[in-house]
Amino acid sequence: MKKTMAPQKRDKSLVPLSREHHFGLLFCWKLRQGLKNGTDLEVMRAYVRYFWENILKEHCQEEEWLMERLLPHEDTQRTRMHEEHKLIEALVELIEEGSPMNRDLFKVLDQDLTDHIRWEERELFPYLQAAAHSDELELAGQLLEHKHDPRLDNFTPEFWVKKAKVA
């Protein structure tokens, strides 16, 4: 029998970041669909650039800011998050450069970002909620909310939608 994980209680200070994790997982799904549909890699490259510049880059910066405020510099969880953010950024840069390995790079970005988001949700955020002082977490959450604009993914064309063939 498959063991299901109970939903984790998320501190309200982290909810905006958790909400954006949904966008990140949707981004990964769109990449998978694009590859499956045989989408032109230039279109997918443009989407990766768009998503990085409009959603993911600032999201990573906000997480870094939050961890810097709430966890000691030498904290291993904080270090892991920072290293994984650097890896994701490096993958985005390789895709933007148009590497000949592009199809595989899209798959690596999909897998690494999915794994990273799942790790943050299942391990990092619960750890942060336990390690950080609740007043500090609340204050950081208020500051984050104040500077946090809702982000939208309005990229076109919607290459992830399978088009019906016209007879």
What is the number of residues in the chain?
Answer: 167
Q: DSSP assignment of 7-19, as one string?
A: PPPPPGGGHHHHH
Cis, peptide link before residue 150, omega less than 30° from 0: no
Q: CB of 77 within 8 A of CB of 127? A: yes
Is the per-residue pLDDT at 131 higher than 70?
yes
Average pLDDT for the chain: 88
The terminus-to-terminus CA distance of the chain in angstroms comes to 46
pLDDT at 39 over 90: yes
- Token output for 28: 């990964």
Burial label for 66, CB within 10 Å (0-12, 13-18, 19+), is buried
Least confident of 59-68, 121-130, 140-149: 140-149
* Measured CA distances, 28 to 22, 56, 69, 106, 115 (Å): 10, 12, 29, 9, 11
Band (pLDDT 50/70/90 cuts) for residue 7 is low
Mean pLDDT of 134-160: 83
| Number of Cα atoms under 13 Å in the Cβ half of residue 31 | 28
Tokens of 79: 């270090």
Given a cut of 80, is residue 128 above it in pLDDT?
Answer: yes
